[in-house]
Amino acid sequence: MNLDHVFLCGDPALDLAATLRARRSERFEMFVSPERLDAWFLESGVVDAVTPSGAADVDHAKLLREAIYELVVTRLTGDAYDRRALAVVNSAARRPAAVPQLTPAGRWTDATPQEALSTVARHAVALLSGPDAPLLKECGNPECTRVYLDRSRGVRRQWCGMESCGNRLKAAAYRARRRRSAAPAER
């Protein structure tokens, strides 16, 4: 079982929302332990160091993740935001966030899990209320539920990532075309 975190979405809030994969079919949970949450914080670049998380932090991260996902999907459909999802994101954003510090070696951000989650919630607020919101797109792979920022030329990106979804769908389409062309012509 592959537990590597993937950051294809273009924003930490979207990457957090993508930690529950394949929401329409076989759900795949990335936050199976506090250590996996800590790894996500570090790998995402939200913080450089984090106080070890506990089970309650994982629960808070999942709650925030689901609220962000709900708000992002609602933004895509043009519907009104769910009040509960708004309350979860806004409550997390109001808490103290991770604060970068200048050190002799450069920028360093040390945080608690709550501060890291507040930082991600603030990213969600900035994204959903800012100029990048029209760039939100859901992956074209029907099995994938990642939402990403499409900053491609002409805003024509179709997949969350070529390696994860694009190549797989292109290969499947190619095989289907080959099967059709190889089938004996009916007369």
| Residue 3 forms part of a structural domain | no
- The verdict on pTM exceeding 0.75 is yes
* pLDDT tens sequence across 46-91: 999 999 999 999 999 999 999 999 999 999 999 999 999 999 999 9
* pLDDT tens sequence across 9-34: 999 999 999 999 888 878 889 999 99
* pLDDT tens sequence across 79-89: 999 999 999 99
| Residue 6 forms part of a structural domain | no
| Residue 5 forms part of a structural domain | no
DSSP per position, 2-70: -------SSSHHHHHHTTEE-TTSS-EES-SSHHHHHHHHHHHTS-SEEPPP-HHHHHHHHHHHHHHHH
| Residue 26 forms part of a structural domain | yes
Give the number of domains in the chain. Answer: 1
| Residue 4 forms part of a structural domain | no
Q: Which domain holds residue 146?
A: 12-182
| Residue 70 forms part of a structural domain | yes
Q: How far apart are CA 128 and CA 142, in angstroms?
A: 23
